[in-house]
Amino acid sequence: MANTNPARGMRDFLPVQVRRREYVIGIIKEVYESYGFEPLETPAVENLETLTGKYGEEGNQLIYKILKRGEHEKTGEADLALRYDLTVPLARVVANHKNDLPKFFKRYQIQPVWRADRPARGRFREFYQCDVDAIGSISVVIEAELSLAVTEILRKLGFEDFTIRLNHREILRDLLLVSSIGETRQTDALIAIDKLDKIGFDGVLKEFEQRGISQNSGKKVLNFLEGIAKLQNNNEIYDELEKFIGRDAFGANELRQIIEISKNSHIKLDPSLARGLSYYTGAIFEIDVGKEIGSLGGGGRYDRLIGMFGKEQIPACGFSLGLERILVVMEERGMFPAELKNTSADVLITIWNGETISESLELAMDLRARGLRVLVYPEADKLGKQFKYAAQIGVPFVCVLGEDEIKNNTVALKNMQTGEQQTIPRENVSEKIKAPKI
């Protein structure tokens, strides 16, 4: 027998799964659009040269490469590749359409990307990214609006107890400088600090040692971060930060402004937040919904990346939500609305016999025109079989249209939850289905 599984690390989405994905994507889009972000879509396939060299050595190996067509196919040469993230295509589009785009281009993009990674729990080879980026301004209004938008999305999805951890690359730089860790060692130091959650104080200290960072310096910065981790209040954290790195530091000032103007945005200052990606230049964010889960997304300011395909650099700041992880957490916590579980149809209309098909189809058209989702059982099977099918697929109502009902312009309507069946005038059917309790 032929293999009928999807390719390894990829997934088929049956209707209930598609509806859950669309529910989450719908909320994300709605909120981003309410902030004036506009949709962008790019092809799944990019020229290979567009992607190579953009994701580091490890990334290069995870890119899916597509064979040249025609006679070249045999040589094994690749000229195309599957999209690996949404940031490089954005930079390409910005360079390509510079004159068609507004000065402050606010775009969101919700599309799949592909990585030839080893599949694991929650890690897939095809997965969706939900990116939002504002291009063209260095103002902290951007950071504030991104935090507010992400806060609103999480609230609308039903998350209550979450924080947006906020830090700034310049604060990290200052913390390290004050601890006598110079510029040349800072990238190494940040890679170690990024693991603080996972490997703890001693683990990071050990990694500092391996990377040639002195234990004194290491202890100084880690002691500060450990002390500050116990504080809950942003102002207290800010005060401690000021004591440690001094007044009027650029990064600390920006964060203070961001917090001041982003009221109710669940922001928590976290000077230990490092974020893996090297291209951030300013504020950095990460969403925290519980220690056991890891982040649902993150982002930050990257003022020297978006111009990679053009002549000039353009400031940018963005956020990426991990759709797959959001879905896993919502599934585990039972956060999906109940109506996403059942079939999407509101009612099934039975067929009495071969001669009454037209009547059933007409009733279906009438109910659809009144906004209902209507299934017609396709065959003039025994009525019992049609009801059994309705029960199997979980449709909440069944309409029977027999010869008497047709003659009297009525419908026998059965509520499949309560079992109650009533014969009612045809024009009352849609109300009854929409508001079964009235």
The region of 239-247, 304-312, 324-332, 423-431 touching its own copies under the rule CB under 8 A is 304-312
Residues of span 117-136 touching its own copies by CB under 8 A: 125-126, 134
Closer of 376 and 400 to its own copies (Cβ): 376
Minimum distance of its own copies from residue 280's CB (angstroms): 19
Structure tokens at 319: 């956020």
Minimum distance of its own copies from residue 271's CB (angstroms): 24
Structure tokens at 183: 């510029």
State yes or no: residue 38 binds its own copies (CB under 8 A): yes
Closer of 49 and 403 to its own copies (Cβ): 49
Number of residues lying near its own copies (CB under 8 A): 107
State yes or no: residue 52 binds its own copies (CB under 8 A): no
Determine if residue 94 is left, alpha or beta; phi over 0 gives left, psi from -120 to 50 gives alpha, anything else beta. alpha
State yes or no: residue 112 binds its own copies (CB under 8 A): yes
Minimum distance of its own copies from residue 79's CB (angstroms): 8
Cα(20)–Cα(157) distance, integer angstroms: 11
Residues of span 375-434 touching its own copies by CB under 8 A: 375-380, 389, 392-393
Q: Which of 25, 65, 205, 304 binds its own copies (CB under 8 A)?
A: 65
Closer of 196 and 401 to its own copies (Cβ): 401
Structure tokens at 111: 């599309």
Minimum distance of its own copies from residue 329's CB (angstroms): 21
Structure tokens at 392: 């199997």
State yes or no: residue 97 binds its own copies (CB under 8 A): yes
DSSP 3-state of 12: coil
Q: Which of 27, 84, 106, 167 binds its own copies (CB under 8 A)?
A: 106
State yes or no: residue 60 binds its own copies (CB under 8 A): no
User: CB-based contacts of 437: which residues, under 8 Å, 6+ apart?
Assistant: none
The region of 61-69, 194-202, 238-246, 420-428 touching its own copies under the rule CB under 8 A is 61-69
The region of 212-220, 271-279, 293-301, 342-350 touching its own copies under the rule CB under 8 A is 342-350
Minimum distance of its own copies from residue 23's CB (angstroms): 12
Closer of 33 and 431 to its own copies (Cβ): 33
Q: Which of 215, 235, 278, 344 binds its own copies (CB under 8 A)?
A: 344
Minimum distance of its own copies from residue 6's CB (angstroms): 5
CA dihedral 334, 339, 342, 343 (to 10 degrees): -140
State yes or no: residue 141 binds its own copies (CB under 8 A): yes
The region of 94-102, 273-281, 298-306, 320-328 touching its own copies under the rule CB under 8 A is 94-102
**Cβ count within 10 A of residue 13:** 12
Minimum distance of its own copies from residue 433's CB (angstroms): 13
Q: Which of 26, 33, 123, 215 binds its own copies (CB under 8 A)?
A: 33
State yes or no: residue 99 binds its own copies (CB under 8 A): no
Structure tokens at 55: 């994701």
Closer of 201 and 279 to its own copies (Cβ): 279
Q: Site mask, its own copies, residues 4-23, x = CB under 8 A?
A: xxxx--xxxxxx-xxx-xx-
- CB of 271 closer than 8 Å to CB of 225: yes
- Cα–Cα distances (Å) from 113 to 3, 80, 296, in that order, read 24, 14, 17
Cα(142)–Cα(102) distance, integer angstroms: 15
The region of 205-213, 226-234, 293-301, 367-375 touching its own copies under the rule CB under 8 A is 367-375
User: CB-based contacts of 326: which residues, under 8 Å, 6+ apart?
Assistant: 24, 157, 296, 297
Sheet (strand 38-39) strand order: 38-39, 105-114, 126-135, 316-322, 297-301, 283-288, 163-168, 267-269
34 burial (CB, 10 Å; 0-12 / 13-18 / 19+) is: exposed
Structure tokens at 371: 């906004």
What is the DSSP secondary-structure string of 166-209?
EEEHHHHHHHHHHTT--HHHHHHHHHHHTTHHHHHHHHHHHHHH
User: CB-based contacts of 174: which residues, under 8 Å, 6+ apart?
Assistant: 245, 246, 249, 251, 252
Residues of span 165-224 touching its own copies by CB under 8 A: none
- CB of 398 closer than 8 Å to CB of 416: yes
State yes or no: residue 343 binds its own copies (CB under 8 A): yes
Residues of span 216-275 touching its own copies by CB under 8 A: 260-263
Closer of 102 and 419 to its own copies (Cβ): 102
Cα(293)–Cα(290) distance, integer angstroms: 6
Q: Which of 25, 78, 178, 424 binds its own copies (CB under 8 A)?
A: 78
Q: Which of 119, 199, 233, 365 binds its own copies (CB under 8 A)?
A: 365
Cα(66)–Cα(47) distance, integer angstroms: 9
